[in-house]
Amino acid sequence: MEIKSVGVVGAGQMGNGIAHVMAVAGYDVVLNDLNADALERAMAVIDKNLDRQVSRNIISADDKAASLARISSTQELTELGQCDLIVEAATEREEIKTKIFETLVPHLKPNTILTSNTSSISITRLASRTDRPEKFMGFHFMNPVPVMQLVELIRGIATDQETYQACLKVVEDLGKTAASAEDFPAFIVNRILMPMINEAVYTLYEGVGNVSSIDQAMKLGANHPMGPLELADFIGLDTCLAIMNVLHDGLGDTKYRPCPLLSKYVEAGWLGRKTSRGFYDYRGDAPVPTR
């Protein structure tokens, strides 16, 4: 099962990063988004990030030009149907992901592998809404994709070994490391990371510490490169809340109950860096804690 072409659904932060690393690794990439402006922004971000890699001697200027030449973009989802591998990187809402796969299915080649970059949603359940559950996997990249070395590979109950091996080879071609995870809510990374972030929000909610002291404590006391509240802003508070809800609903344990303060920030539209306000306010020259 040789993979030469990759379709990426969604041109946001994760999608443009996935398109970037796939193109650098030599795959032909078709990047899809419904929004033409999103596609234009994504190509500009990819260009900028490739420039950064050239300046750091990670790739050459010729590599950059060749990588950009391998990426095409389209607003028509069905045009991805002839790709060997499709990576869905749309928003973390199951109904949207399901609709994407249902739309794609009639246009796929028989051997096309379908994958989702979901950080928490059941791979088995997503796969069941397609005509090829045996050729469906979780392909979870870390953010920012060009920098982070890990990819979680998640097998659904029906995923066959040939599909797993094909995806594992792609990860190796990207120069990244695969961690194999079973299909349980939030898999490995977010099963551990999100409850820590949620507990940091509870620590803030209960007045144990303020934003600065909590983040400073974990950076200097636990040697974390980024404090948990700063990291939540980077990930997106809506994404954090969605994953905590998946954990809470899927495992039925009260220890995964989302903190009410996290829900309140999301209700306010303070989602972190992408909206310029979250646990920090990013509208000035330097981030300022909001609590």
For residue 140, indicate whether it is catalytic: yes
Tokens encoding 94? 């199951």
Judge whether residue 1 has pLDDT over 80.
no
Residue closest to 39 by CA, chosen among 77, 12, 70: 12
Topology, domain 190-289:
N-(1-d-carboxylethyl)-l-norvaline Dehydrogenase; domain 2 (1.10.1040)
CATH superfamily of 5-182: NAD(P)-binding Rossmann-like Domain (3.40.50.720)
- pLDDT value at residue 119: 87
- pLDDT value at residue 25: 97
H helices of the chain, in order, are 13-24, 36-55, 61-69, 94-104, 123-127, 161-173, 189-205, 211-221, 228-235, 237-251, 260-268
One of 119, 120, 122, 198 is an active-site residue; which one? 119
- For the segment 213-271, what is each residue's pLDDT rounded down to a tens digit? 999 999 999 999 999 999 999 999 999 999 999 999 999 999 999 999 999 999 999 99
What is the residue-averaged pLDDT of the chain?
96
Judge whether residue 286 has pLDDT over 80.
yes
Please work out, in degrees rounded to the nearest 5, the angle formed at the alpha carbon of residue 26 by the alpha carbons of 20 and 45. 15
One of 117, 122, 190, 198 is an active-site residue; which one? 190
Which amino acid, one-letter code, is at 177?
T
What pTM was estimated for this model as a whole? 0.89
For residue 198, indicate whether it is catalytic: no
DSSP 91-132: -S-HHHHHHHHHHHGGG--TTPEEEE--SSS-HHHHHTTSS-
Binding-site residues for NAD(+) sit at: 10-15, 33, 92, 97, 119, 143, 274
One of 20, 73, 122, 140 is an active-site residue; which one? 140
For residue 111, indicate whether it is catalytic: no
Domain ranges, ordered by start, for the chain: 5-182, 190-289
One of 20, 122, 152, 198 is an active-site residue; which one? 152
Residue 280's pLDDT band, with cuts at 50, 70 and 90, is: very high
Which residue reads 């695969």 in tokens? 178
Binding-site residues sit at: 10-15, 33, 92, 97, 119, 143, 274
Residue 50: burial class (beta carbons within 10 Å; 0-12, 13-18, 19+): buried
Count of CA atoms in the C-beta half-sphere (13 A) of 13: 13
- pLDDT value at residue 92: 85
- For the segment 59-118, what is each residue's pLDDT rounded down to a tens digit? 999 999 999 999 999 999 999 999 999 999 998 889 999 999 999 999 999 999 999 999
